[in-house]
Structure formats: C-alpha cells, structure tokens
Amino acid sequence: MGRVRNTFIKRNTREIIDKFGKDFSDNFEDNKKVLGKLVKTNSKKIRNRLTGYITYIKKKGISLKKIE
C-alpha cells in the first residue's frame, strides 16, 4: 500500500516544483536545504513532508500532469 499525503502537501509541492523544479534533485538532504531557503515555515514536520514528496517525485521522474 502507498503512503497517504494530504491535499495541502500535494498542492504546495506542485506549486514549488512548478516554480523551482530545477533546483531540486533526488537527494533528501540537499532538497531540505534548498527548500529551507525558498519556503519559510516554522514546522519541521511540514518542511520534511514537503521535502520527502519532492524527493519522491524527482526519484520516480513523475510528471506533475499525471498527478492532477
């Protein structure tokens, strides 16, 4: 079974990748640093979930058109 992500994470990840997709790679730690510079959030949990979903998309090479 797959992991369930709420709409907030999916929607914001799509927006971030649309704007800054070239800045991200398939490495979680590098993506976390890049996301920390781009997005200001007080929640470590939210930042890590966004980073995890971005990393997942980059590793799989998923087109965001298919997700919608």
Q: Does residue 47 sit within a domain? A: yes
- Segment 61-66 mean pLDDT: 66
- pTM comes to 0.83
Contact between residue 23 and residue 30 where contact means Cβ atoms under 8 Å apart: no
CATH number of the domain where residue 39 is located = 1.10.60.20
Domains in the chain: how many in total? 1
Tokens for 59? 């590793």
Q: Which amino acid is at 35?
A: L
Per-residue pLDDT reduced to its tens digit, 24-45: 999 999 999 999 999 998 999 9
Predicted pLDDT of residue 60? 87
Question: Is 44 a member of any domain?
Answer: yes
